[in-house]
A and B are shown apart, each in its own frame.
Chain A
Amino acid sequence: MMETAFTPFASFGGGLAIGLGAVLLMLGLGRVLGATGIMSGLVFAENRSEFGWRAAMVVGMILAPGLIFAVTGTMPEVNVPVSPAMIVIGGVIVGLGASLGSGCTSGHGVCGLSRLSVRSLVAVPTFMATAAITVFLIRHVFGG
């Protein structure tokens, strides 16, 4: 376990930009910004009319750390305190769960709550709770 600095201003500012991205997508294309839907659409390449904008969005997202590096001279921090095996297990469960539940932190969390979607109002407390329970069990019960 490592301590991380409390960053209310950067986090709030970043949150504003995340929201701006969601609003821009609604303004331009009339879609909710759900990372799961976007990624899944690209993985299965099944909906041609949706493929282009999804690919363009993903390219923009991937360019973001490079832009930050170009402006500030430092890459955004990515500290991974878990093993490769846990990344793989967690990733598979994330993919399975977000796909079954039709959304993740961006789709249900940011966009769904903003739309006051009933489904998202159920989904978000559910995944926040299971994430907190999982972290508690791994760190304090099994002593990972």
Chain B
Amino acid sequence: MKLLFALVTGLVFGVGIAVSGMMDPAKVLNFFDIAGTWDPSLAFVMGGALLVTFFGYRLVWRREAPLFEGRFQVPTSGVIDRKLIGGSALFGIGWGIAGFCPGAAIPALGTGRWEVALFLVAVAGGFVLRRLFSPVRPTLASA
């Protein structure tokens, strides 16, 4: 049941990514191209996603525990360090170069486009590169 639930969750998220335009690099890059062919659509994606998640999380957190796990596991760190700022800055640069981000590229793989697969392989290469620089704590959660 837990795995089926996760699969349906991924499907809902993926449909959202597809409908929103997030998996279209032309649209993503135009969102950032304020001085050129600007397309502000993606601000509406973030608006819709934040609206549901902000209130949805607070409803869910009224529960003692999630449906299939013993407890909620949300990141608790509040540390602002060079890794966070430098890593985020780099992420934005890469996003601005390629036009894909991981959450958009994973569902986009389902369109069968080779560019998406190429991007994801490169992202995996970036993960490996990061481990060569500094070891990762095994419990590291994605924020």
Determine the distance from Cα of A53 to Cα of B67 in the docked complex, in whole angstroms.
13
Decide: A16 near B37, CB < 8 A? Known: A21-B9, A94-B91.
no
Check A87 against B119 for contact (C-beta < 8 Å): yes
In the assembled complex, the CB of B51 is this many whole angstroms from the nearest CB of chain A, namely 7
Chain A: interface size category: 35 or more
Q: Mark A82-122, 1 if CB is under 8 A from B, else 0.
A: 10101111111111111111111111111111110111101
Check B18 against A107 for contact (C-beta < 8 Å): no
Decide: A15 near B45, CB < 8 A? Known: A90-B97, A94-B91, A127-B89.
yes
Check B50 against A110 for contact (C-beta < 8 Å): yes
* Total A-B Cβ pairs within 8 A: 539
In the assembled complex, the CB of A141 is this many whole angstroms from the nearest CB of chain B, namely 10
Check A104 against B37 for contact (C-beta < 8 Å): no
**Residues from 1 to 52 in A contacting B, C-beta threshold 8 Å:** 1-40, 43-44, 46-47, 52
Determine the distance from Cα of A63 to Cα of B94 in the docked complex, in whole angstroms.
26
**What residues on A are CB-neighbors of B52 within 8 Å?**
15-16, 18-20, 22-23
Question: Interface SS of chain B: helix, strand, loop or mixed?
Answer: helix
Chain B: interface size category: 35 or more
Check B94 against A92 for contact (C-beta < 8 Å): yes
Question: Interface SS of chain A: helix, strand, loop or mixed?
Answer: helix
**What residues on A are CB-neighbors of B9 within 8 Å?**
21, 24-25, 28, 33, 57, 60
Check B130 against A81 for contact (C-beta < 8 Å): no
Q: Mark B114-143, 1 if CB is under 8 A from A, else 0.
A: 011011111111111111010010101111
Check B50 against A102 for contact (C-beta < 8 Å): no
Determine the distance from Cα of A82 to Cα of B33 in the docked complex, in whole angstroms.
14
Check A19 against B53 for contact (C-beta < 8 Å): yes
Check B143 against A117 for contact (C-beta < 8 Å): yes
In the assembled complex, the CB of A127 is this many whole angstroms from the nearest CB of chain B, namely 3
In the assembled complex, the CB of B118 is this many whole angstroms from the nearest CB of chain A, namely 5
In the assembled complex, the CB of B69 is this many whole angstroms from the nearest CB of chain A, namely 5
**What residues on B are CB-neighbors of A47 within 8 Å?**
138
Q: Mark B76-104, 1 if CB is under 8 A from A, else 0.
A: 01111001111111111111111111111
Question: What are the nearest 3 A-B pairs in CB distance?
Answer: A95-B126, A15-B48, A14-B20
